[in-house]
Amino acid sequence: MEKKCRVLLVDDEEEFVRTLAERLELRGLMTRVALDGIEAMDLLDQSDVDVVVLDVRMPGMSGLDVLRQIKSIKPDLPVILLTGHGDTKDGIEGMRLGAFDYLMKPLDIDTLMEKIFEATQTS
């Protein structure tokens, strides 16, 4: 990778998202963290990102709402959804709305890396 891949992580669970960010940085990615949908949209306005990793379950603006907004602004930006076990329906709905893929929490970091790589390759 000649240029560092920029990833925006959106999750209301700060402990989770910051730790995940650190692990991705250790693997050579550039990360930005947003704790809710509004913050995420702000960050998207200010800076360019290559991939968005988005939690489906969030208070206020839900993951699917954020996804819709992202797709309305940047239809080509790949979005990977994070879902709980019971939220496969949301995952499928997300795919219909144009998400790149969905992964279940707790995550396997290697799988996530693979998906991010795939997403940047295709976009």
Partner 1 sequence: MSFLKNKFWTRLQNFFTFRPEKAGEARYVILRRNLAVTMILVTFVPLFLMAFINYVEYRATLHKEILSPMQSLVGKAKHSLELFIAERVATVSFVSKAYSFEELADPQRLSQIFSVMKTEFQGFVDLGIINEKGIQINYVGPYQLLGKDYSEQPWFHEVRVKGSYVSDVFLGYRKFPHMVVAVESSVPGGKSWIVRATIDTDRLNDVILSMSLDPESDAFLINREGILQTPSKFYGNVLDRLSFPIPSPTYQPSVVSLRDDQGRELFMSYAFLREPNLILVMVKPKVRVLKAWTTLKSEMLVLFVGGTLIVLFVVIKITGIFVNRIKEADEKREAAFRELQHHHKLSSLGRLAAGVAHEINNPMAIINEKAGLILDLLPQMPQSPYRDRLETLTRDILKSVDRCRNITHRLLGFARRMDVQIEVLDLNEVVREVLTFLEKEALYRNIDVRLQLAENLPRIASDRGQLQQVFLNILNNAFEAVPDGGIVSITSWEVDADKVAVSIQDNGHGMDEETMKHIFEPFFTTKKSYGTGLGLPITYGIVKKLGGDIQVQSHVGEGTTFTVYLPKKAPHAE
Residue numbers at the binding site for partner 1 (CB under 8 A)? 13, 15-16, 19-20, 22-23, 26-27, 57, 84-86, 105-107, 109
Closer CB to partner 1, residue 56 or residue 67?
56
Q: Which is nearer to partner 1, 2 or 110 (CB)?
A: 110
Please list, in sequence order, all residues whose beta carbon lies within 8 angstroms of the beta carbon of residue 59, skipping any fewer than 6 positions away. 12, 36
Closest CA to 80 of 58, 56, 100: 100
- Report in angstroms how near the CB of residue 101 gets to partner 1 at its nearest: 17
Residue 25 vs 65, nearer CB to partner 1: 25
Q: Quote the CA–CA distance of 52 and 50 in Å, as a whole number.
A: 7
Of the pair 67, 82, the CB lying nearest partner 1 is at 82
Order across the sheet with 101-104: list the strands.
Answer: 30-34, 6-10, 51-55, 79-83, 101-104
Question: Least distance in Å: CB of 16 to partner 1?
Answer: 5
